[in-house]
Amino acid sequence: MNTVLVIGATSPTAQAFIKLMERDYPEMTLKLFVRNRKKVPAYQKREHVIFLGDAAKYTDYVAALEDVDYIYDSVGGLSTGPYVKLLLRAIKETQATIKRIVDISAGGIYGEYLSGNLPYLSAVRTQHPQYTHDQLDKPLLFANSGIPFTIFRPGLIQNGPETKIITHGPEFRAIPESEFAINRETFARAAANALFNDDYHNQSVAISNGELL
Ligand SMILES: NC(=O)c1ccc[n+]([C@@H]2O[C@H](COP(=O)([O-])OP(=O)(O)OC[C@H]3O[C@@H](n4cnc5c(N)ncnc54)[C@H](OP(=O)(O)O)[C@@H]3O)[C@@H](O)[C@H]2O)c1
């Protein structure tokens, strides 16, 4: 039985992923890493493993990694760069055998999004330079860890019908406004395909809605 550690499990993005997992991968065990148990839906407390932890604490990662095979990390906030370093250190020092990590980063860090509110989503680079710097470091951090990874850089994650998926690598710097949004279901599916089907192997991709299915 494989176990997926879902970090930031109370986020709306992770909640859509959890629901997709329950529906499409019922054989997998889900371990939900949360800092506030009260925010976890009651049925998830019954059906999944709940790990109470702080993503800023190395020792919490060490404890959470026991028996984990896959990691989906959608923890939010401006400190996710330092958090990833702690997570990778914990994996290394516990010698956990992680088959894949999916990390949710932010759109705009390469100045690639020509959309969002003026002066565009890529304004993250001037509004939060340290955060941007940390996000830009992630591909190298993951590559150096040796753990297969996918970094997603969505624009706006929202509700909506499932669609095909459009992705772009970091070298693509002119993502049009039409590719700003992605719905949570489609995003969850992309994450599951990255985790279990080896999609977007060792890549950082911008991701948005394509044509309706
Ligand atoms: N929403 C978007 O349009 C969008 C666009 C681009 C990228 N993203 C990224 O996608 C991810 C998910 O976004 P979201 O909007 O669905 O959710 P969010 O509101 O950003 O949720 C963040 C999650 O991280 C958890 N968290 C933050 N600090 C933590 C800590 N120290 N220890 C444990 N948990 C902690 C939060 O827990 P609590 O519930 O307890 O606060 C919550 O579950 C984030 O990384 C975000 O930057 C989102």
Mean pLDDT for the chain? 95
Q: How far apart are the CA of 44 and the centre of ligand 1, in A? A: 18
Give nearest CA residue, ligand 1 atom 7: 106
76 lines ligand 1 (CB under 6 A): yes
pLDDT > 90: what percent of the chain?
90
Domain with 203 in it: 3-212
Best mutation site among 6, 10, 13, 44 for ligand 1 pocket (most ligand atoms within 8 Å of CB)? 13
Please report, for the domain that includes residue 186, its CATH number: 3.40.50.720
Give nearest CA residue, ligand 1 atom 8: 106
Q: Which atom of ligand 1 is nearest to the CA of 54?
A: 32
Q: Convert the chain into a string of H (helix), E (strand) and C (coil).
A: CCEEEEECCCCHHHHHHHHHHHHHCCCCEEEEEECCHHHCCHHHHHHCEEEECCCCCHHHHHHHCCCCCEEEECCCCCCHHHHHHHHHHHHHHHCCCCCEEEEECCCCCCCCECCCCCCCHHHHHHHCHHHHHHHHHHHHHHHHHCCCEEEEEECEEECCCCEEEEEECCCCCCECHHHCEEEHHHHHHHHHHHHHHCCCCCEEEEEEEEEEC
Mean pLDDT of 189-205: 98
pLDDT tens column, 168-180? 999 999 999 889 9
Q: How many domains does the chain divide into?
A: 1
Q: What is the pLDDT of residue 120?
A: 64
Q: How far apart are the CA of 75 and the centre of ligand 1, in A? A: 4
pLDDT tens column, 113-124? 887 665 466 789
